[in-house]
Amino acid sequence: MNLSNEKLKLELDRLSEQVKEDRKARGLPSESPKPFVSVAMGWTLFQRCKPLIDFAIQYANIVDKANEIIELSEEQKEWVNQFKIYAILARETSDTLLNGTGSGAISLINLLTNQSKYELVSEYLKLLYYGIQLTRTDYGEYRLNQFTYNHNLDNKENELIYNESKKEVERLKDIDYFNQELEKLAKHYESIKHLY
């Protein structure tokens, strides 16, 4: 079915209104909470999820070769769960691409800690590979400038945004500063998570 731009816009508006009505019916505000994590912090959180992503890739390869879903130990699941707050908050950035990496990491955490929900190896692997794909680019590792670039701005404005984000990423390497910022964001998320 080929929709004209006008019909497509009308359909999107209808669906958007339907989502708002559904939220209201569930006693929620018509809009979901706005993103509240900076790109610099989202990038830093995503970087902290790298060991999880690497583990998921290795695990997916083992499952593929064995052709069976291999249950992780409780210690391994506990290790996987330590990345959950990073992934959740990375998903709360205003950048759609960075938001997607957080969603991919959350998907991996859920898949790795809830293996008993799946019977078919092929279905499980498909979901694992999809989660992994959300955390990677087709051309290798993501770079910070991919998340700071805005097509609506000129090169000078984009360079300024990138440089500001890069400075904040450097500040976030200080573990005390990072932990303070993480605690603030985690508290804020806890206070609004019921609104999603």
The pLDDT tens digits for 104-144 are: 999 999 999 999 899 999 999 999 999 999 998 877 788 89
Which tops the pLDDT comparison, 56 or 158? 56
Please check whether residue 60 lies inside any domain of the structure: yes
d(CA 159, CA 45): 22
Q: Do residues 59 and 80 make contact, with C-beta atoms less than 8 angstroms apart?
A: no
* Residue tagged 């945004």 (tokens): 161
Please check whether residue 127 lies inside any domain of the structure: yes
In this prediction, residues 24-50 reach a mean pLDDT of 91
What confidence tier does 86 reach under pLDDT thresholds 50, 70, 90? very high
Which tops the pLDDT comparison, 17 or 175? 175
Using the predicted structure, report yes or no on whether residue 5 has a pLDDT greater than 80.
no
What confidence tier does 177 reach under pLDDT thresholds 50, 70, 90? very high
pTM for the full predicted model: 0.84
Start-to-end CA distance of the chain, whole Å, equals 32
| Domain total of the chain | 1
pLDDT of residue 60: 97
pLDDT above 90: percentage of residues in the chain: 67
Q: Is 140 left (phi over 0), alpha (psi -120 to 50) or beta?
A: left
pLDDT of residue 6: 80
CA proximity to 48, closest of 182, 162, 146: 182
pLDDT of residue 122: 95
Please check whether residue 18 lies inside any domain of the structure: no
In this prediction, residues 72-82 reach a mean pLDDT of 97
Please check whether residue 61 lies inside any domain of the structure: yes
d(CA 138, CA 132): 11
Please check whether residue 118 lies inside any domain of the structure: yes
Using the predicted structure, report yes or no on whether residue 1 has a pLDDT greater than 60.
no
pLDDT of residue 2: 57
Please check whether residue 10 lies inside any domain of the structure: no
What confidence tier does 161 reach under pLDDT thresholds 50, 70, 90? very high
Please check whether residue 22 lies inside any domain of the structure: no
Please check whether residue 102 lies inside any domain of the structure: yes
Using the predicted structure, report yes or no on whether residue 167 has a pLDDT greater than 80.
yes
Q: Name the least confident of 2-11, 34-43, 111-120.
A: 2-11
d(CA 194, CA 191): 8
Q: Do residues 50 and 87 make contact, with C-beta atoms less than 8 angstroms apart?
A: no
- Show the domain range for 161: 37-195
d(CA 191, CA 110): 22
